[in-house]
């Protein structure tokens, strides 16, 4: 850090300096505008939105009116009970004070988003642990409605490119994976195709999920004339009398000293792409090759906070998701419905199941890592048969379509018998045969006596309602049999700077660092080591980004001079 201003620099003064253009940073900047403060958003990448724009875009908002429209009653007390039951005692980042602040802020967030003309729809997802006290089904998650990106103008090209061929809501993805197993699935697919084709013919750039949410917030920053800088790197915090009063921002090769009257908000994401930090903090084995986070997730904000005395928590945690290297090119793909739909299992090197394959994705990643301590489980193996492949989408490929290049690449194993498949994968053959025989009995009876798969709302939501007697269980009996290696990937790390209920970064002694705040994946999570519902990380990033600026607005001090 520096203790005096370089005389050669251009200088400017703002109330709030926001580092990172994900949803937490954008909400913070709009909150500043609403409170009469001047903010500038600094993004180091050429792309806007960070991992938020690459996500499903869900927002876990208790007590939102869209729940009521589905005939489900929510109250602040129910939401408090649910967080307490799901998260439990997970350390200072998930303290009762922080959870209470999140719940209070979540109710305010709905009103804020409506005032900012952000259009939302219910996502239909249950709370991930809806069986716990206070859990709801349908749950508390909402998501961006479809939005035309053309009004963004030049900013549209700064969003991450669309990857999926169809423009969908996250709530439609289950139907896409189930193929034509029911008439409702069929019509969902048809509507998605018609929607996508119609938008193209009309010249519309239809956005949804994370891209839709970020686009709607960016439109608001445009309307409010909030400055958003891309390809700009913030470094060298200036500290005076224990408070951060300025930072150097390099933009287009020119350094600017940005003085701050109120504070700096770190909303830069985690460190999922930083090999050195993952080696230091993440459990073994974890690799940057297995992450789905954005390429800029290098831990810059966390390192900045640590450099001025910020404490950290839960640095060994991530938003874990099972992933596979998708054939034939080996790109990393999130494994969600493939492990939840009936007719697939996950086994370790001994050929044994070791958890309910249909649990929420963060828990699934944790189970794989925990089990690997005892038995080789990285990689573990997703096993399925011909019936499963003919019924369901696999890795965005339609049923029945399994290119030969997939098996030639070696990333997808295929064999005429279970024993042969086990040999190809290096799995104990007798163990795998025994496991599949036992699982097939469970599937026929409709009851998983080992891991209770299909007995809670989250399992059933991701299953196949046309499959009886259990919509999450089906026997694995028809050759050819298939296997794909599964790894403990993530969509970003979630451990980070320890903050209080106002999002102020704290020291090891628990004192706030004046002028420094953090939110999103740069801050240790309010939900601890649990992911309680679709969009919890995005909701927390938005809530604490807004609370940070609301707290800054209460501060009274003279503007920094002569730093």
**Into how many domains does the chain fold?**
2
Mean pLDDT of 462-471: 96
What's the confidence (pLDDT) of residue 475?
Answer: 98
Final residue in a domain of this structure, among 446, 469, 490 = 490
Q: Residue 305 has which token pair? A: 């906070």
Asked whether the predicted pLDDT for residue 2 surpasses 80, the reply is no
For residues 531 and 485, state if they share a domain: no
Contact 105, 546 (CB under 8 A): yes
For residues 220 and 282, state if they share a domain: yes
Confidence of residue 156 (pLDDT cuts 50, 70, 90): very high
Name 163's Cβ contacts closer than 8 Å, sequence gap at least 6.
Answer: none
For residues 498 and 529, state if they share a domain: yes
Tell me, what CATH number does 97's domain have? Answer: 3.50.50.60
Q: How far apart are CA 110 and CA 113, in angstroms?
A: 5
For residues 313 and 326, state if they share a domain: no
For residues 263 and 131, state if they share a domain: yes
What's the confidence (pLDDT) of residue 5?
Answer: 47
Q: How far apart are CA 187 and CA 533, in angstroms?
A: 27
Q: Does the residue 173 lie in any domain?
A: no
Contact 173, 208 (CB under 8 A): no
Distance from the Cα of residue 334 to its chain's centroid: 11
For residues 240 and 102, state if they share a domain: yes
Asked whether the predicted pLDDT for residue 421 surpasses 90, the reply is yes
Least confident of 82-86, 171-175, 267-271, 476-480: 171-175
* Tens digits of residue pLDDT in 83-139: 999 998 889 999 999 999 999 999 999 999 999 999 999 999 999 999 999 999 999
Question: In 327-438, which ranges are E strands?
Answer: 331-334, 344-347, 380-385, 412-415
For the beta carbon of residue 328, count every other beta carbon within 10 angstroms: 16
Asked whether the predicted pLDDT for residue 6 surpasses 60, the reply is no
Mean pLDDT of 456-461: 97
Q: How far apart are CA 155 and CA 153, in angstroms?
A: 5
For residues 435 and 542, state if they share a domain: no
Q: Does the residue 29 lie in any domain?
A: yes
What's the confidence (pLDDT) of residue 398?
Answer: 86
With b for 16 or more beta-carbon neighbours within 10 A and e for fewer, the 84-109 pattern comes to bbbbeebebbbbeebbebbbebbeeb
Q: Sort 400 into a burial class: Cβ within 10 Å, 0-12 / 13-18 / 19+.
A: exposed
What's the confidence (pLDDT) of residue 7?
Answer: 53
Q: Does the residue 181 lie in any domain?
A: no
Kindly report the CA angle at 445 between 443 and 449, in degrees rounded to 5?
75
Q: How far apart are CA 116 and CA 190, in angstroms?
A: 32
Mean pLDDT of 403-410: 92
Q: How far apart are CA 214 and CA 50, in angstroms?
A: 9
Q: Does the residue 111 lie in any domain?
A: yes
* Tens digits of residue pLDDT in 277-291: 999 999 989 888 999
Final residue in a domain of this structure, among 461, 490, 519 = 490
Tell me, what CATH number does 371's domain have? Answer: 3.90.700.10
Least confident of 181-190, 464-473, 554-563: 554-563
Contact 20, 299 (CB under 8 A): no
Q: Does the residue 264 lie in any domain?
A: yes
Distances (CA, A) of 537 to 4, 236, 319: 37, 28, 9
* Tens digits of residue pLDDT in 215-266: 999 999 999 999 999 999 999 899 999 899 999 999 988 999 999 999 999 9
With b for 16 or more beta-carbon neighbours within 10 A and e for fewer, the 178-212 pattern comes to bbebeeebeebbeebeebbeebeeeeebbbbbbbb
Name 411's Cβ contacts closer than 8 Å, sequence gap at least 6.
Answer: 324, 325, 326, 327, 328, 330, 484, 485
Distances (CA, A) of 107 to 95, 217, 285, 368: 19, 18, 39, 35
For residues 137 and 227, state if they share a domain: yes
Final residue in a domain of this structure, among 464, 490, 516 = 490
Distances (CA, A) of 52 to 18, 150, 462, 479, 542: 16, 20, 23, 41, 11
What's the confidence (pLDDT) of residue 560?
Answer: 47
Q: Does the residue 170 lie in any domain?
A: no
For residues 283 and 424, state if they share a domain: no
For residues 339 and 359, state if they share a domain: yes
What's the confidence (pLDDT) of residue 561?
Answer: 43
Asked whether the predicted pLDDT for residue 559 surpasses 80, the reply is no
Mean pLDDT of 531-557: 94
Mean pLDDT over the full length of the chain? 94
Asked whether the predicted pLDDT for residue 180 surpasses 90, the reply is no
Name the nearest CA neighbour of 85 among 527, 541, 480. Answer: 527
Asked whether the predicted pLDDT for residue 563 surpasses 50, the reply is no
Confidence of residue 3 (pLDDT cuts 50, 70, 90): very low
Q: Sort 153 into a burial class: Cβ within 10 Å, 0-12 / 13-18 / 19+.
A: exposed
Q: How far apart are CA 205 and CA 190, in angstroms?
A: 19
- 3-state SS class at 309: coil
Q: Does the residue 189 lie in any domain?
A: no
Distances (CA, A) of 407 to 400, 410, 411, 482, 483: 14, 5, 6, 9, 10
Asked whether the predicted pLDDT for residue 187 surpasses 90, the reply is yes
* Tens digits of residue pLDDT in 298-345: 999 999 999 999 999 999 999 999 999 998 889 999 999 999 999 999
pTM metric for this prediction: 0.95
Distances (CA, A) of 23 to 52, 295, 377, 521, 539: 6, 17, 35, 11, 9
For residues 505 and 471, state if they share a domain: no
Asked whether the predicted pLDDT for residue 382 surpasses 80, the reply is yes
Q: Does the residue 200 lie in any domain?
A: no
* Tens digits of residue pLDDT in 433-452: 999 999 999 999 999 999 99
For residues 504 and 485, state if they share a domain: no
Q: How far apart are CA 541 and CA 535, in angstroms?
A: 10
Q: Which domain holds residue 309?
A: 1-160+208-317+494-557
Confidence of residue 401 (pLDDT cuts 50, 70, 90): confident
Mean pLDDT of 495-513: 97
Helix (H) or strand (E) holding 539: helix 536-552
């Amino acid at each position: 850090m520096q203790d005096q201003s370089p005389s050669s620099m251009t200088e400017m003064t703002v109330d709030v300096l926001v580092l990172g253009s994900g949803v937490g940073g954008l909400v913070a900047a709009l909150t500043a505008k609403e409170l009469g403060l001047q903010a500038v958003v600094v993004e180091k990448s050429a792309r806007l939105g960070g991992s938020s724009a690459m996500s499903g875009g869900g927002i876990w908002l208790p007590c939102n009116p869209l729940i009521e429209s589905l005939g489900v009653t929510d109250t602040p007390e129910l939401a408090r009970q649910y967080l307490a039951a799901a998260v439990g005692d997970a350390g200072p980042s998930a303290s009762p004070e922080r959870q209470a602040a999140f719940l209070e802020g979540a109710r305010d967030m709905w009103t804020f988003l409506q005032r900012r003309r952000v259009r939302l729809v219910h996502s239909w997802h249950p709370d991930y642990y809806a069986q716990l006290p206070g859990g709801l089904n349908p749950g508390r998650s909402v998501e961006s409605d479809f939005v035309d990106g053309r009004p963004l103008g030049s900013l549209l090209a700064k969003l991450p490119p669309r990857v999926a061929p169809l423009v969908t809501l996250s709530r439609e993805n289950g139907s896409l994976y189930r193929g034509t197993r029911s008439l409702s699935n069929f019509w969902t697919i048809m509507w998605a195709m018609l929607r996508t084709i119609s938008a193209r013919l009309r010249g519309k750039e239809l956005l949804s999920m994370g891209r839709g949410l970020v686009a709607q917030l960016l439109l608001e920053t445009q309307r409010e004339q909030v400055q958003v800088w891309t390809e700009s790197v913030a470094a060298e915090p200036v500290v005076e009398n224990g408070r951060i009063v300025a930072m150097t921002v390099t933009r287009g090769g020119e350094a600017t000293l940005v003085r701050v009257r109120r504070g700096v908000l770190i909303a830069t994401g985690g460190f999922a792409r930083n090999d050195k930090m993952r080696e230091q903090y993440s459990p073994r084995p974890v690799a940057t090759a297995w992450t789905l986070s954005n390429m800029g997730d290098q831990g810059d904000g966390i390192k900045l906070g640590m450099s001025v005395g910020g404490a950290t928590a839960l640095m060994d945690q991530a938003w874990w998701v099972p992933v596979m290297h998708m054939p034939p090119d080996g790109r990393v793909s999130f494994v969600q419905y493939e492990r939840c739909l009936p007719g697939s299992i996950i086994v370790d090197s001994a050929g044994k199941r070791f958890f309910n394959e249909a649990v929420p994705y963060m828990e699934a990643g944790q189970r794989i890592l925990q089990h690997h301590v005892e038995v080789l489980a990285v990689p573990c193996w997703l096993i399925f048969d011909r019936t499963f492949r003919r019924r369901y989408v696999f890795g965005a490929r339609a049923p029945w379509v399994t290119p030969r290049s997939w098996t030639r690449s070696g990333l997808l194993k295929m064999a005429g018998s279970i024993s042969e498949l086990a040999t190809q994968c290096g799995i104990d053959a007798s163990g795998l045969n025994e496991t599949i025989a036992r699982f097939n009995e469970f599937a026929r009876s409709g009851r998983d006596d080992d891991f209770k798969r299909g007995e809670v709302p989250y399992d059933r939501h991701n299953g196949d309602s046309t499959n009886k007697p259990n919509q999450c269980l089906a026997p694995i009996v028809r050759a050819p049999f298939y296997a794909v290696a599964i790894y403990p990937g993530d969509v970003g790390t979630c451990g980070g700077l320890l903050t209080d209920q106002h999002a102020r970064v704290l020291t090891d002694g628990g004192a706030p660092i004046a002028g420094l705040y953090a939110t999103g994946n740069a801050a240790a999570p309010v939900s601890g080591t649990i992911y309680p519902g679709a969009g919890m990380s995005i909701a927390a990033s938005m809530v604490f980004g807004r609370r940070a600026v609301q707290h800054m607005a209460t501060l009274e001090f003279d503007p920094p001079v002569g730093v």
